[in-house]
Amino acid sequence: MSDLLGKVYKLPRQCPICGKTLVATVTQIEHAGEIEMVDQIEMTCITEPPMGSKRADEFYETHFKTPYIDWVPIQDSVKLAINKKVMAAHGLEYDSEFETWFDPKEPSDSPYNMHW
């Protein structure tokens, strides 16, 4: 059973459309060896109305008009932030230049620290 799958995070960032609170739910995980990492998250604003309600169409038209501009960058940064915490708990760090994880206790030429 996964500890991450289905986990809901109330985010400190605000909705890029209305400024209200954002919520992220882990919808898919991946494994790095025995470590579970977030692969996909679903994000929404707390003002999202129930599906099928009268306000739902208006909400989706305004909040998700330009998802690749408004939402994807936030999703990517939230996913990375969650994974950094998960990996740090396992003693690993993130190298943003090579976009990979490494063990700071291993020598730099170790096969465990290869930058692919």
DSSP sequence for 40-61: EEEEEETTPPPTTSTTHHHHHH
Hey, what amino acid is at 16? P
Total domains in the chain come to 1
How long, in residues, is the chain?
116
The pLDDT of 68-83, averaged and rounded, is: 92
Q: How does residue 109 score in pLDDT terms, banded at 50, 70 and 90? A: low
Report whether pLDDT(111) > 80: no
pLDDT score recorded for residue 110? 52
Task: Give the pair of three-digit tokens for residue 99.
Answer: 């976009």
pLDDT score recorded for residue 115? 42
The pLDDT of 34-59, averaged and rounded, is: 92
Average pLDDT, the chain: 85
Residue 104 located in a structural domain = no
Residue 95 located in a structural domain = no
Hey, what amino acid is at 62? T
The pLDDT of 96-116, averaged and rounded, is: 61
Do 38 and 86 meet the contact criterion of CB atoms below 8 Å apart? yes
Domain that holds residue 58: 8-90
> 13 in the Ramachandran plot: left (φ > 0), alpha (ψ -120 to 50) or beta?
beta
